[in-house]
Amino acid sequence: MKSIIVLTALFFTCFLAQANNENVSLEVETAQVEMAQTIGTSNSTVPTIEIENTNEVARLYKNKNNRIIKALEFTTKLNGTKLS
């Protein structure tokens, strides 16, 4: 009985929401922007960077105190899930 009342109330609410379509006109102002040339000459040279072949691993952590947070997240037997 409760579900029937909820479904009919939902139906009428959706029906009334669609019936309230008002004609709303939106006016948007446009602004003219001029393009600026950023590169003056096409004879510019790009400096090259020499890269050494090293195999170093860098660890990036999201948090500054990641080691401390990781150490405080210890688990015990009481923290585990209980199977019934």
Paired tokens of 73? 């997240």
Distances in Å between the alpha carbon of 31 and those of 35, 36, 37, 63, 71? 13, 16, 19, 43, 56
Taking the model in full, what pTM does it have?
0.24
What is the pLDDT confidence band of residue 52, given thresholds at 50, 70 and 90? confident
**41-79 b/e with 16+ CB inside 10 Å = b?**
eeeeeeeeeeeeeeeeeeeeeeeeeeeeeeeeeeeeeee
Mean pLDDT of 15-36: 75
Decide if 63 contacts 69 (C-beta within 8 A).
Answer: yes
